[in-house]
């Protein structure tokens, strides 16, 4: 099915690229762009199901994997802006049990910057165990860090949401899921949620998993951070379409949204903390995003990611299509992506159901869109 939706005439080339992708490589997808508070691209199309019997419609949503981390980071930054969380304080200041086993020096910004040393769970652990938040967060509080906190990045594949979600609960009293719904998505009118309410399941596009991740774990150190993270627990795209996953709170990976919803939410960062008349962040808090927490090869995924406070930053070899400057971004397994470019007042998002086989950082197929968009700007 061809592209549906609207584009400002200056961005017609983006529509052409999207239409071509739907005809040749995508199953179903959505793409949105906001510039200076104006939605200049809002596209969707293709099909929700692998059998191509159900169209991807304007309100279709999909699991966006680690693009969820942008939402979770925004929740914590919002609480920091309200004075309820100090980004430079120890996590244990809010969650005393977390100080166990050498973690008393882990700061909130270490978790937001993937340098806490807690990038996975000690074995044994399964995806099902993650659905029990009290038990799984207690396990993280009890275990020792896998490297000296604050000294190196190690991608918090799934722990990112559990650690930060517990901080939200401790200081606000509500779950991350509820906080996002009532304090972020609701006021901003954004179609974004952690997990998925059962009344919305009918509009979810199931994901089409990619080939297995190209990691030869057998040839790696079984005691190393990478192996322990990727087996604690191992990523499994098939679980995301189960009722258990949708009902759970996996603040690192089970956000459900479309591109428009992500743009409506995250443009509050791009636009200086206020969007649609709703203020969430001050300029001071936004500037904290660009405090570099790590700029080195990642201990988990091996990528040379430059981490700020909650988001990836540029320049980044894994996203060479993004310009330098005040640009915050991150994406998800399979190819979803969100970009907040404060210098150019641009917010971009992409969400799809057919996962690409480009590994955990598969953003190459989005380069054409962003290259074209920046040419227009």
- Extended strands (E) in the chain: 4-7, 28-35, 38-46, 62-63, 192-194, 255-257, 274-275, 278-279, 294-297, 304-307, 312-313, 327-331, 337-341, 346-352
Active site residue 66: yes
How many Cβ atoms are within 10 Å of 124's Cβ, its own excluded? 9
Q: Which of 2, 30, 66, 175 is catalytic?
A: 66
Maximum CA extent, the chain: 58
Q: Which residues of 55-84 are buried (b: 16+ CB within 10 A; e: fewer)?
A: ebeeebbbbbbbbbbbbbbbbbbbbbbeee
- Three-class SS of residue 336? coil
| Residue 105 CB contacts under 8 Å (≥ 6 apart), including other chains | 90, 149, 150
**Helix ranges restricted to H, the chain:** 12-24, 68-81, 108-112, 127-130, 133-142, 159-172, 176-179, 186-188, 225-230, 243-247, 259-270, 283-289, 367-376
Rounded CA-CA distance 206/334 in Å is 13
Contact 367, 318 (CB under 8 A): no
Among left, alpha and beta (phi > 0; psi -120 to 50; other), residue 195 is left
Q: Would you name the residues annotated as active-site residues?
A: 66
């Amino acid at each position: 099915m061809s592209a549906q939706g609207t584009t400002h005439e200056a961005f017609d080339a983006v529509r052409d690229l999207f239409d071509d992708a739907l005809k040749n490589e995508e199953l179903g997808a959505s793409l949105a762009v906001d510039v200076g508070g104006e939605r200049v691209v809002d596209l969707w199309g293709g099909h929700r199901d692998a059998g191509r019997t159900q169209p991807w419609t304007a309100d279709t949503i999909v699991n966006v994997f680690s693009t969820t981390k942008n939402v979770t980071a925004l929740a914590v930054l919002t609480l920091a802006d309200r004075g309820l969380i100090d980004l430079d304080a120890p996590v244990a200041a809010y969650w005393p049990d977390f100080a166990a086993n050498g973690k008393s020096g882990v700061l909130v910004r270490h978790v937001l910057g993937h340098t806490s040393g807690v990038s996975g769970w000690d074995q044994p652990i399964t995806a099902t165990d993650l659905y029990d938040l009290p038990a799984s967060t207690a396990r993280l509080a009890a275990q020792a860090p896998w490297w000296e906190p604050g000294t190196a990045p190690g991608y918090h594949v799934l722990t990112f949401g559990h650690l930060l979600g517990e901080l939200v609960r401790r200081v606000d009293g509500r779950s991350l899921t509820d906080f996002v719904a009532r304090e972020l998505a609701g006021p901003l009118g954004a179609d974004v949620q952690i997990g998925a309410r059962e009344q919305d399941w009918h509009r979810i596009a199931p994901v089409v998993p990619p080939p297995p991740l190209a990691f030869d774990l057998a040839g790696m150190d079984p005691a190393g951070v990478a192996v322990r993270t990727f087996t604690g627990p191992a990523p499994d795209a098939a679980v995301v379409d189960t009722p258990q996953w949708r009902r759970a709170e996996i603040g690192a990976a089970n956000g459900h949204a479309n591109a428009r919803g992500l743009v409506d939410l995250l443009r509050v960062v791009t636009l200086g903390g206020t969007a649609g008349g709703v203020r969430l962040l001050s300029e001071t808090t936004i500037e904290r995003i660009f405090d570099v927490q790590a700029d080195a090869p990642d201990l988990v995924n091996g990528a040379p990611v430059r981490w700020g406070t909650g988001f990836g930053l540029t320049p980044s070899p894994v996203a060479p299509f993004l310009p330098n400057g005040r640009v915050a971004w991150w994406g998800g397994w399979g190819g979803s992506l969100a970009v907040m470019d404060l210098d150019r007042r641009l917010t971009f998002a992409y969400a799809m159901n057919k996962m690409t086989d480009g590994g955990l950082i598969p953003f190459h197929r989005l380069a054409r869109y962003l290259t074209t968009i920046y040419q227009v700007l």
